Chain A
Amino acid sequence: MEYIFSLEFIYLIASVTYILGLKMLGHPETARRGNLIAAAGMTAAIFGTIFLYQGEVANIIYILIAIAILIGTVIGWMVAKKVGMTKMPELVSLFNGMGGASAALIGLIEFHHYIGDQLSILTIIAGMIIGSVSFSGSMIAWAKLNGTLNKPLRLPQYNIINNIFLLGIIGFGAYIVFSGSDSSLFLYALFFAALAYGVLFVLPIGGADMPVVISLLNSFTGLAAAFGGFLYGNMVMLTGGILVGSAGTILTLAMCNAMNRPLSNVIFGAFGESSSTPGAGGTIEGSIKEASASDVAILMNYSRKVIIVPGYGLAVAQAQHIIHELEQLLDSKGIEVKYAIHPVAGRMPGHMNVLLAETNVDYDKLVEMEDINPEFKSTDVVFVVGANDVVNPAAHNDPSSPIYGMPILDVENAKHIIVNKRSMKPGYAGIENELFYNQKTSMLFGDAKAALTKLVAELKNM
């Protein structure tokens, strides 16, 4: 009895650390401590579960658990420490998939132990389906973010097919639960069907929407963990799982909000419909003006205020350090420099802040969209580096555009616009950008790092 009490007590403390940790993660000053507190609670819960377990357990099992935890810790730690900051989003997706897979495997193993107990089978089947979808979905999201799969793949009528498939899985799951079947064949068939659904679910969704998808799958995994908690009557799994499930759902909606698109639109893909007919509003009139590095240097040298709009292209080119150098150089010439951060710049909300903070860019220079938009009018030069969709005026002007209604940075209001891009290829969302054809716009073609290095060199000579 005493044992149970102390394990339950550890679980209680751990649950509190999760709530506290998540709460603290919501404020810049306390975020890091919050994460550590939740990690401490998790560690206590894991070791408590192992050492306070009552019942006969063969030594070999303890050894196996120790090995699994050891390998997982070493790999997880190394991967998380080594991977570059630009790769963060896909890493989160990868780890999320691991959790989903873990939940699915628990279901596969426990199924036969609970035959005849309908409620338990229900939680097992539900946890397994959700965990499997989360796993395979996260893997696809991961592949999309790292560029292995860069085009949305769509079967004709994929929404209908997917929904029928989902209904089929739910029906099949319900059949297994209510028929009291003990068939391994059925169980594995359901497992693979759920895996397939995860793939079908994420494949048609465009790469730019992956953060939302990852956040959604994140809350799925939370739900799968909670079903495990229900099965074992394990409070810490239940609280942790439900907490993430609910917080993750709200976070998903907040992200959609930042893009001004309903969640249904992300999942059932308006992006898909229109990107098949690029430039839905007709072809864009006008011509492109090209500028050389020295043109841009001269322009910047005689400005009073420059706003830099960084995008994922900057991160891909590893140009965050050189952009910081540019900023300091301009600053030393008495030119006011700021960064305009769109909420979904990069591959995840807040991703750009993390990347720039890594290079010691002053936090105060990173200005969020609502605060910087009125400033463009008084800006001499806007320098767009590797960003595209977040400055596309189609979001304002073109109701047929897939990004119509998304809040953007109003860079058009500035006196001059310089856009650095590798080529005229459309951005991540696959849409043409009329900003490039604007009379005030000059294009500085080339890889961000190379182009910026040249620009900085030119500026130094002035």
Chain B
Amino acid sequence: MTEFIDFISNNLQMIYIVILMIFVGVEIIGHVPAVLHTPLMSGANAIHGVVIIGAILVMLGAEPDNILALSLGFVAVLLGTLNVVGGFVVTDRMLEMFKKKK
């Protein structure tokens, strides 16, 4: 139990963020028309590409002679970039189609 309380007090800021972000996410999606579900999913898909920042941090923190970490990190950055760039570009292409609305 003390461990649990320690955990809470040590990470209070992050716990706040997690809780608030959950509500923000729920509120944002609330009443979106079905037409926009696909672009929205695709846009959210691009945003979780933020995982690339973790991959970059892995690379930056790795020892230059740790080949395994560097190669895995390299792949992680590459895949993360694919997620981000591909995600945003695909979303943009989908939305391009909607602009001709009168």
Task: Point out residues on A near B: beta carbons under 8 Å.
Answer: 18-19, 21-23, 25-29, 31-32, 34-36, 38-39, 42, 45-46, 49-50, 53, 55, 57-58, 60-61, 64-65, 67-69, 71-73, 75-77, 79-81, 83, 85, 88-89, 91-92, 94-96, 98-99, 101-103, 105-106, 108-110, 113, 119, 131, 211, 214-215, 218-219, 221-222, 224-226, 228-251, 254-255, 258, 341, 343, 348-351, 353-354, 357-358, 360, 362-364, 368
A-B contact pairs, 22 of them (CB 8 A): A35-B39, A42-B88, A80-B93, A89-B38, A98-B80, A99-B48, A218-B41, A218-B44, A221-B51, A222-B48, A224-B51, A237-B54, A238-B17, A238-B21, A243-B21, A247-B26, A247-B28, A247-B44, A350-B35, A354-B38, A358-B97, A363-B98
Q: How far is the CA of A362 from the CA of B64 in the complex (A)?
A: 57
Determine how close the nearest CB of chain B comes to the CB of A173; give it in whole angstroms: 18
User: Contact: A350 with B60, CB < 8 Å?
Assistant: no
Residues of A close to B88: CB separation below 8 A = 35-36, 38-39, 42
Cβ-neighbour of B38 out of A36, A98, A238, A348 (below 8 A)? A348
Q: How far is the CA of A68 from the CA of B25 in the complex (A)?
A: 31
With A22-B40, A38-B43, A76-B84 known to touch, is A65 a contact of B77 (CB < 8 Å)?
yes
Determine how close the nearest CB of chain A comes to the CB of B78; give it in whole angstroms: 4
With A25-B39, A88-B94 known to touch, is A98 a contact of B82 (CB < 8 Å)?
yes
Determine how close the nearest CB of chain A comes to the CB of B9; give it in whole angstroms: 13
Q: How far is the CA of A255 from the CA of B34 in the complex (A)?
A: 8
Q: Which 10 A-B pairs have the closest CB atoms?
A: A72-B81, A246-B25, A76-B85, A76-B86, A240-B50, A80-B89, A228-B54, A357-B97, A349-B37, A99-B83
Chain B residues 29 to 62 lying within 8 A of chain A, measured CB to CB, are 29-62
The yes or no answer to B22 lying at the interface (CB within 8 A) is: yes
User: Contact: A368 with B35, CB < 8 Å?
Assistant: yes
Q: How far is the CA of A371 from the CA of B76 in the complex (A)?
A: 46
Residues of A close to B96: CB separation below 8 A = 32
With A106-B76, A238-B17 known to touch, is A232 a contact of B95 (CB < 8 Å)?
no
Determine how close the nearest CB of chain B comes to the CB of A103; give it in whole angstroms: 5
User: Contact: B47 with A350, CB < 8 Å?
Assistant: no
With A32-B92, A76-B84 known to touch, is A108 a contact of B41 (CB < 8 Å)?
no
User: Contact: B79 with A42, CB < 8 Å?
Assistant: no
User: Contact: A105 with B95, CB < 8 Å?
Assistant: no
Residues of A close to B44: CB separation below 8 A = 22, 218-219, 222, 243-244, 247-248, 251
Task: Point out residues on B near A: beta carbons under 8 Å.
Answer: 7, 11, 14, 17-18, 21-26, 28-62, 64, 68-70, 72-102
Q: How far is the CA of A258 from the CA of B83 in the complex (A)?
A: 27
Say what secondary structure dominates the interface of chain B: helix
CB-CB nearest in chain A for B63 = A58
With A241-B48, A244-B25, A350-B36 known to touch, is A35 a contact of B95 (CB < 8 Å)?
yes
CB-CB nearest in chain A for B30 = A250
With A242-B21, A348-B41 known to touch, is A95 a contact of B54 (CB < 8 Å)?
no
CB-CB nearest in chain A for B40 = A25
Q: How far is the CA of A249 from the CA of B27 in the complex (A)?
A: 12
Q: How far is the CA of A26 from the CA of B27 in the complex (A)?
A: 11
Q: How far is the CA of A28 from the CA of B59 in the complex (A)?
A: 39
Q: How far is the CA of A161 from the CA of B29 in the complex (A)?
A: 34
Cross-chain pair count, CB within 8 angstroms? 367
Determine how close the nearest CB of chain A comes to the CB of B37; give it in whole angstroms: 4
CB-CB nearest in chain B for A18 = B47
Residues of A close to B64: CB separation below 8 A = 58, 60-61
Interface centre among A23, A27, A119, A251 (most CB of B within 10 A): A251
Residues of B close to A343: CB separation below 8 A = 34, 37
Residues of A close to B100: CB separation below 8 A = 357, 360, 363
User: Contact: A350 with B39, CB < 8 Å?
Assistant: yes
Residues of B close to A236: CB separation below 8 A = 50, 53
Determine how close the nearest CB of chain A comes to the CB of B10; give it in whole angstroms: 9
User: Contact: A31 with B21, CB < 8 Å?
Assistant: no
User: Contact: B98 with A42, CB < 8 Å?
Assistant: no
Determine how close the nearest CB of chain B comes to the CB of A6; give it in whole angstroms: 16
Cβ-neighbour of A225 out of B28, B43, B54 (below 8 A)? B54
User: Contact: B85 with A80, CB < 8 Å?
Assistant: yes
Q: How far is the CA of A255 from the CA of B37 in the complex (A)?
A: 8
Determine how close the nearest CB of chain A comes to the CB of B62; give it in whole angstroms: 7
Residues of B close to A211: CB separation below 8 A = 38, 41
Q: How far is the CA of A85 from the CA of B70 in the complex (A)?
A: 36
Residues of A close to B43: CB separation below 8 A = 21-22, 25, 34-35, 38
User: Contact: B56 with A50, CB < 8 Å?
Assistant: yes
User: Contact: B89 with A77, CB < 8 Å?
Assistant: yes
User: Contact: A238 with B14, CB < 8 Å?
Assistant: yes
